[in-house]
Amino acid sequence: MTRNNTTGAIELARYVDGWAPDPVETVDVVPRERLTQLARTLDSDEARLADGIVPILGHWTAFQDWPASSELGLDGHPAEGHFYPPIPDRRRMFAGSTVTSHGHLRVDVPTVRRSSVESVTPKRGGTGEMLFVVVRHEFEQAGKLCRTEQQQIVYRSDSGGPTRTFERATTQVEPSADSTWATTRSIPTTALFRYSALTANAHRIHYDAPYATEVEGYPGLVVHGPLLATLMADLVGQAWGDSRVGEFSFRLKHPLFAHDLFVVEGVSAEDGRSASLSVTGSVATAATARAVRR
């Protein structure tokens, strides 16, 4: 595990000095039924699942943690977790991920996932101190490495609401003139609820409107960052074929809210070997991604 120290981020660094959680190995399958349910939740083409290959982000529907309800914190996240850093008043945000395909990950096949903390980096930004934790997952089937993922999670020590205010993306957004593929979307509250259930995400900002607005100060229910990433992955997967997506990396930048209007679009490189993707509302770009073809 790499431990990086950034000048100025002293307080959080001292809490994680010596923190080195052991790697964890778990076994599960990625069920075809759950991928079908995800496709229906997002109005995706479920016929793409016929080849039995798990889409580049489809493994998020498996390897789920379901702690007892009594073990959840006020915000709905588990109060404690094996890879949760020991900082006070911990708040957790999913910042981005890089997923690499080394071979086809197949549905309904026993899969071993090996997870470990790859790096811990304290930083100080405009909104205060943050702790960036990269968790690496390796997925194997029949002894062969099929897929790796490096998840970047950002933690704050903060018991209050958001550190800045956010506007709604309520006006229509047009695709860019140079986009290769594009679709205009909005996410209803029912899709937020169903996606939370499919991915075992109990964070209340996605389904509990009074909590999201009155406690955390958002203007509405928050669309899951991984859901936005999945929409971008679906766009390129539909264009190339899911089996041809070799790498997908994304970064979450700005929240979107239930019923906000936004565009999911991609620009293919001239050689067709890669693509840049984005989710854009009328206020800001919510997420960006890059895909590389196998």
Length of the chain, in residues: 294
Domains defined for the chain, CATH in brackets: 2-293 (3.10.129.10)
Cβ(169)–Cβ(256) below 8 Å: yes
Categorize the per-residue pLDDT at 90 as very low, low, confident or very high, splitting at 50, 70 and 90.
Answer: confident
pLDDT at 117: 97
pLDDT at 166: 80
Query: For residue range 122-163, what is the model confidence (pLDDT) as tens digits?
Result: 988 777 789 999 999 999 999 999 999 999 999 988 755 555
Determine the angle formed by the axes of helices 189-198 and 225-240, rounding to 10 degrees: 90
Query: For residue range 253-274, what is the model confidence (pLDDT) as tens digits?
Result: 999 999 999 999 999 999 999 9
pLDDT at 157: 84
Query: For residue range 207-255, what is the model confidence (pLDDT) as tens digits?
Result: 999 999 998 889 999 999 999 999 999 999 999 999 999 999 999 999 9
Query: Residue 49: what are its φ and ψ, rounded to 5°?
Result: -85, -5
Q: What is the pTM of this model?
A: 0.93
pLDDT above 90 for 172? no
For residue 232 the two structure tokens come to 């971008």
Pick left, alpha or beta for residue 10 (phi over 0 → left; psi -120 to 50 → alpha; otherwise beta).
Answer: alpha
pLDDT at 7: 45
Can you tell me whether residue 44 is helix, strand or coil? coil
pLDDT above 80 for 8? no
Query: Residue 34: what are its φ and ψ, rounded to 5°?
Result: -70, -35
Distance CA 1, CA 224 (A): 28
Cβ(275)–Cβ(266) below 8 Å: yes
Residue type, 266: G
Categorize the per-residue pLDDT at 4 as very low, low, confident or very high, splitting at 50, 70 and 90.
Answer: low
Task: Compute the Cα dihedral for 251, 225, 204, 78 and give only its sign.
Answer: negative
Distance CA 210, CA 78 (A): 20
pLDDT at 162: 56
For residue 249 the two structure tokens come to 């990396």
Q: What mean pLDDT, rounded, does the chain reach? A: 92
Distance CA 294, CA 291 (A): 10
pLDDT at 9: 47
| 290 vs 3 pLDDT, higher one | 290
